[in-house]
Structure 1
Amino acid sequence: MSCKILVVEDEIFVATEIEYLVAELGHNPIGIAADKASAFNLAPFADIALVDLNLRDGPTGTEIGRTLAEKHGVTVLFMTANPSQLADGVPGTVGVISKPVGEDELRQVVSYAVAKRHSLAADVPPRLRVFQ
C-alpha cells in the first residue's frame, strides 16, 4: 500500500529528512513544497500531504491543507511547532502533531495517515491530535 506523499515544509533540511523517511517506509515522496504555489502545483500527484503552517510565503499552511483536502482529495496531516494556530482543526484534514517530531514518531504518523487514506483502522500515535 504505497502512497504518494507531498512534504509541505520550507526548512529544506527538515523537508529532506521527512522525504528520506517516507521513501524508507516504501512510499513515493513526490516533492517538497516551500510555499502555496508549489504545493498546489504538486497537489494533483499527492495521496497524502504532511503540511507545516508557516512557510516561505507566510502562514499559508492552513489554507494549503484545506485546499488539498477539499479540492484534491488529499489526506492532510499538519506538522507544526505552533499547533495552537489550528484551534479546533481544519475541515477535511486528519490532525496535527507538534514539532519537533522524532523519527519513530514520524513513522507512526505516516503509517496512521496511510491507514486513514485506505480507510483502515489504526491506533492514533500518542502526540497526534486528531480533528473531529
Structure 2
Amino acid sequence: MTRILVVEDEIFVATEIEHVIEEMGFVAVGIASDERSALALASTVDVALVDLNLQDGPTGIGIGRTLAQAHGVTVVYMTANPSQLGYGVPGTVGVLSKPVTERDLRAAVAYVVARRATADAIPPARLQLFSEPNVGPTK
C-alpha cells in the first residue's frame, strides 16, 4: 500500500488532498505544514506532495530535495509558483501548478504511484516533469 505525505500549510487544501488520496485507496500518512514535521515523517512515506511556501517560509524546495535524496521518497511539488523551481530539483519528479482540480490531482498521484512501481507510466498533461526522476535536471 502506497503511503503519501501532504506537505501543505493551508489546512483546507491539505485535508482535501488527503481526502482524494484516501478515496484513491492510498494511505494518507499525514499533513506536514513545515520542514520539521515533514522530515519527522520522512521514513514512513513512499510519495510526497510538497508545496513550496510553508509555515516556516520557503522551505518546500529543500524538503522535497531531502525527502527524495536522503529518504528515497518520490516527490512531486504542488505550487502556485512553479518558476521558483527553475529547471527542477535533483531527485524529484516534477511540479503540478496550482490551482489544481481534483482530476489533475488524481492523475498526478496515479502517475507518481505507477512511476514508483514501473517506468511505463504516462505523465498527465498538467504535470511538468523535470527530467528523469532520481537523476536530476538536464543542463
Tell me the TM-score normalized by structure 2.
0.93
Amino acid at match of 2:99: P
Distance 1:51 1:7 in 2: 6
Name the SS of the counterpart of 1:91 in structure 2: coil
Unaligned runs of 5+ in 2: 132-139
Stretches of 4+ moved more than 6 A in 1? none
Percent identity for Structure 1 against Structure 2: 63
**Structure 2 residue aligned with 1:122:** 121
Distance 1:119 1:131 in 2: 18
Name the SS of the counterpart of 2:5 in structure 1: strand
**Structure 1 residue aligned with 2:31:** 32
- The structural deviation recorded for 1:57 is 0.3
Tell me the TM-score normalized by structure 1.
0.97
> Deviation per CA, 1:60-117, whole angstroms, max 9, x where unpaired?
0000000000000000000000000000000000000100100011000000110111
Distance 1:61 1:121 in 2: 28
Distance 2:3 2:109 in 1: 11
- The structural deviation recorded for 1:127 is 1.2
Matched, 1:64 2:24: no
Unaligned runs of 5+ in 1: none
Distance 1:111 1:19 in 2: 14
Distance 1:16 1:115 in 2: 23
Matched, 1:96 2:91: no
- The structural deviation recorded for 1:119 is 2.3
Amino acid at match of 1:21: V
Distance 2:122 2:72 in 1: 22
**Structure 1 residue aligned with 2:13:** 14
Amino acid at match of 2:11: I
**CA RMSD across the alignment:** 0.6
